[in-house]
Amino acid sequence: MQHHANMTAPGAAPIALRPQAPLLPGRTLGVLGGGQLGRMFVHAAQAMGYGTVVLDPDPDSPAGQVSHHHIQAGYDDPQGLAELARLADAVTTEFENVPAAALATLAARRPVAPAANAVALAQDRAQEKAHFVRCGVRCAPYAVIASAEQLAAAPAELLPGILKTMRLGYDGKGQRRVTTAAELSAAWHSLGQQPCVLEQWLALALECSVIVARGADGSIVHLPVQRNLHRDAILAVTEVYAGNLPQALAEQALQAAISIANGLQYVGLLCVEFFVLQDGSLVVNEIAPRPHNSGHYSQNACDLSQFDLQLRTLAGLPLTAPRQHSPAVMLNLLGELWFAQGAVAQTPPWAEVLALPGTHLHLYGKGQARPGRKMGHLNVTGPSPQAARATALKAAALLGIAPF
């Protein structure tokens, strides 16, 4: 473990577990995980005058670069976790695959949100789906494939399907599309025979997501329902404005997200991802117990961003309903944009993009661009949905992002 003090955090003695009163600015908030989500949480916390501490093994992580303190240690390093609990008055997470046991260890000393059990559930596709069923929210037909017997017994109606590792998947990693029983068997073996779920491959009309923030008192607020376009199983574009989705569908997605959060007694920020099938029906895909890529538009289009909401749930501050003030389109900036001109990495044409009105550039401080790597995002706001879309399409053309 190494501890780097990047700058002096506001000083205040750590306070007791489960405070009745909110943690006010001047206190220090901790984050397990140093990726871009942690970086943007740190920015939001520092804007309000909080101190920050990030635990991440990477010496140059996006969040570690900007935090008051960076503890360079593994997520399960007892000394690192003890140091985090010493420095932080409350701890959140930004990385879904942080060991739930680390959150449980921290929770013995400090308020932690979200709780270890909710994070553990989101890390396990079978537990996650069982929770959807408990909440009465429809998910894709599925079967657990954790043994040769379960493989042999996989229901034929789940094919064609998609085999997903039970744990540790993101951005489509650990997934195989399969059409026949032979392909299913080959796919399960290629994934090292680890526990998986087989989901029926659904005919999607579109995808959407909802972000809710739930306080310790059970109060819930939410961001508007986001319409998402994925390319190669990675989020490419999010569009949020009146009319992005049929009203009844958006309402149904919101109610489902609220049931899922309430069913977990969830405290913190939660994103629920949905599929809309070609017959117009809604199916839940998965949950993320943290800020989500599809919520990044809220930084520039809403009066409270998803990171502000995460902070409020963690610090026990009042949750007021966020209001979207501008129609918005978010473009993900993946590593391939750095190679649009050829094999040698080049800086994308930021000045040309920023000459378009209503563009907001967010870069994560990652040194190396690689295809598929999330390097940043561009939020585009406009006076109308048409204007925001038109500007976003111009920016996409400049950057080499395919039109949408």
Nearer to ligand ATP, 83 or 199 (CB): 199
Nearer to ligand ATP, 9 or 223 (CB): 223
Nearer to ligand ATP, 172 or 335 (CB): 172
* Nearest by Cα to 26 from 65, 54, 52, 44: 52
As separate numbers, helices (DSSP H) first and strands (DSSP E) second, the chain gives 13, 18
- Strand, helix or coil for residue 157: helix
Least distance in Å: CB of 159 to ligand ATP?
12
Least distance in Å: CB of 132 to ligand ATP?
13
Count the neighbouring beta carbons within 10 Å of the beta carbon of residue 20: 6
| Cα separations in angstroms, 290 against 36, 125, 199, 217, 385 | 12, 16, 24, 19, 27
Interface ranges with ligand ATP (CB under 6 A): 140, 162, 164, 169-173, 199, 201-202, 204, 207, 230, 233, 273, 285-286
d(CA 143, CA 35): 32
Count the neighbouring beta carbons within 10 Å of the beta carbon of residue 17: 12
Least distance in Å: CB of 229 to ligand ATP?
9
* Nearest by Cα to 58 from 20, 90, 95, 26: 95
Least distance in Å: CB of 138 to ligand ATP?
12
- Strand, helix or coil for residue 54: strand
Nearer to ligand ATP, 70 or 131 (CB): 131
Nearer to ligand ATP, 174 or 349 (CB): 174
Least distance in Å: CB of 146 to ligand ATP?
18
Helix or strand (DSSP H, E) at 277:
strand 268-277
Least distance in Å: CB of 312 to ligand ATP?
24
**Where are the extended beta strands (E) located within 123-266?**
142-145, 161-165, 175-178, 196-200, 204-214, 220-222, 226-231, 234-240
Least distance in Å: CB of 360 to ligand ATP?
23
Contact 176, 169 (CB under 8 A): no
Nearer to ligand ATP, 19 or 172 (CB): 172
Nearer to ligand ATP, 85 or 276 (CB): 276
